[in-house]
Structure 1
């Protein structure tokens, strides 16, 4: 009887993921809540496993992949419990015939919900107002108390009109917002009509939007997509929303723009050097900060977890993983 494959789960994940994995292999798992293995610890633990189940908090670089490819048994597949995969050196994995999978689609609606919630929170000063009340500062209603910005009929600019961007546009329709978008490729006319979205250049989007929402994938071309020059193009009354990836925004430039009043505020669920946050942001009232919870509903995280497991199960069963990113690595 052939040896059962060895599977390493790098961080605690929803319970539904484990039975699927245990049905096809021997599972070693980090089940300590909140514990994230360091790069060195991962390098020590991962080699000798057939499958690696990881999260965006794990850096799966060429050094780790090469060590895993040289070990016995050799690594066959990395299942990333996320839609984004900038934490993985996919090129190195492909060169080493290591398959990479992700969990697309399932988190789109949940992340769009959070995006719109963040937009509402910064526009209407919800977090600031709650802190004000909890601090005992609320002594009575006043006509100028914590006035914010209207969301209805405002102009929303979406950078990146993929799954999540389209769903954010769909939510904006309920607020009668004007939707502008910028994307690598223009959408077909019927999709533009469906989402009531108008294609514009990045520069026009920044200049015209009351809310600029980042939904593009992170890659070298989108690193610091929003920097000093782009922030200067935005309205002094506008807000920046980022629920995509932190390094798309030059955080130091953002701090300066907020301090100078170049823009009115920002809502951030992701950070350039996550989990570290620029210290100045922490003390700003015109910023809403969240700890990367875009997909954090029980239902969605459970589905993400089982989808990652299903990719491993498929490969272990000699089937094509449903969410393979580099099919050329399958041997």
Structure 2
């Protein structure tokens, strides 16, 4: 039976979660679920928030910068079902005294797997190969066409050597890749696994046959992979992004793909998604995925339970394990 006492916190859940997580949150909180998984706009979320103490939302909720300032006083904590929190203003939340938590750690392997899929898919032409077969365009095979790019033994640059970046490096080692990385600070030797640290992003780029974007979206990283950065990559390099779309400059990336400066790109995330730049759909040398880095049942369940853990800790008067504010 769901809790009904007035002392039990009320939690608004904006999207449908895995069944085990919905069952749990309904047992420990007075939870308002979204069984139809219908996206809610800002006005609806704010209207519903007035009757709740907490919100469990996702990075897919497009609520905008006006969201947190407009929240009613009843909201004490926001738990985001994501590692990234660029869809929320942490300074605004701090100013209103609202706690914010995220879900680090539990989606590391799933997202790193997608990064490797992007590398392999972009390099070996998974998109155009699939279309050739589906559209019955598979003609006579020759020794010179169609062809992709080698992955094994190549140089991989990782932008952002956090948990996911390190997991990408471990996987890339299996392909004999030489690993380079740039982060704000070098990681411990045992975590770097022999990867070469570059204190300056620009200094790493000439050593990157592949560039994997694995950093958070922050004011410092947005637009970081721009025309100037791409120009420093070797001709025929490949860029993959499994982090956040706004780290890449779409115009610069598309121009480099058309000109041949870049051989290919693999993208799981996009600026303004799902309303992506339509030019990407016209390019044969781009491997596109619909932001599925964490999209496995086990990972999405673990993320939801991490949200619930943080909410329970907060309402017990404890510091949530994944507090951002």
Structure 1 length as normaliser, TM-score? 0.92
RMSD, matched Cα: 1.6
- Return the alpha-carbon distance in structure 2 between the equivalents of residues 255 and 52 of structure 1: 38
User: Which of 17, 26, 29 is matched with 1:25 structurally?
Assistant: 29
Deviations for 1:52-102, whole angstroms, at most 9, x for unmatched residues? 0000022566643344343xxx11110100011111111111122211111
Matched, 1:9 2:7: no
Counterpart check, 1:47 vs 2:47: no
The CA deviation string for residues 209-241 of structure 1, in whole angstroms up to 9 with x for no partner, is 110011111100011001111111122210010
Q: Give the Cα–Cα distance (whole angstroms) in 2 for the partners of residues 24 and 299 of structure 1.
A: 21
1:100 maps onto 2:103 in alignment: no
Distance 1:79 1:216 in 2: 21
Aligned pairs for 1:286-305 (under 5 A) are: 286-305=285-304
1: CA distance, partners of 2:297 / 2:189: 36
CA contact (8 A) 1:103 1:308 kept: yes
Could you tell me whether the CA contact under 8 Å between 1:69 and 1:96 is conserved in 2? no
- Which of structure 1's runs of 4+ aligned residues deviate more than 6 A? none
Q: How many residues align?
A: 320
Distance 1:131 1:94 in 2: 49
Native 8 Å contact 1:48 1:68 kept in 2? no
Higher mean C-alpha displacement, 312-321 vs 93-102 = 312-321
Name 1:329's counterpart in structure 2.
none
Distance (whole Å) between structure 2 residues aligned to residue 199 and residue 106 of structure 1: 26
Q: Distance in 2 between matches of 1:25 and 1:297?
A: 26
- Once the two structures are superposed, the pairs formed by residues 111-260 of structure 1 within 5 Å of their partners are 111-192=111-192, 195-200=193-198, 201-260=200-259
Matches of 1:222 and 1:289 in 2, distance apart? 22
Q: Contact 2:238–2:262 (CA<8 Å) still a contact in 1?
A: yes
Structure 2: gaps (5+ residues): none
In the alignment, the residues of structure 2 paired with residue 231 and residue 94 of structure 1 have an alpha-carbon distance, to the nearest angstrom, of 36
Structure-to-structure mapping, 1:261-272, within 5 angstroms: 261-272=260-271
Stretches of structure 1 that go unaligned for 5 or more consecutive residues are: 327-331
Structure 1 residues 44 and 140: CA distance shift in structure 2, 3 A: same
Seen in structure 2, the aligned counterparts of structure 1 residues 8 and 268 have a Cα distance that, compared at 3 Å, is same
> Is 1:82 aligned to residue 82 of structure 2?
yes
Contact 1:83/1:103 (8 A) holds in 2: yes
Per the TM alignment, residue 204 of structure 1 is displaced from its structure 2 partner at its CA by: 2.8
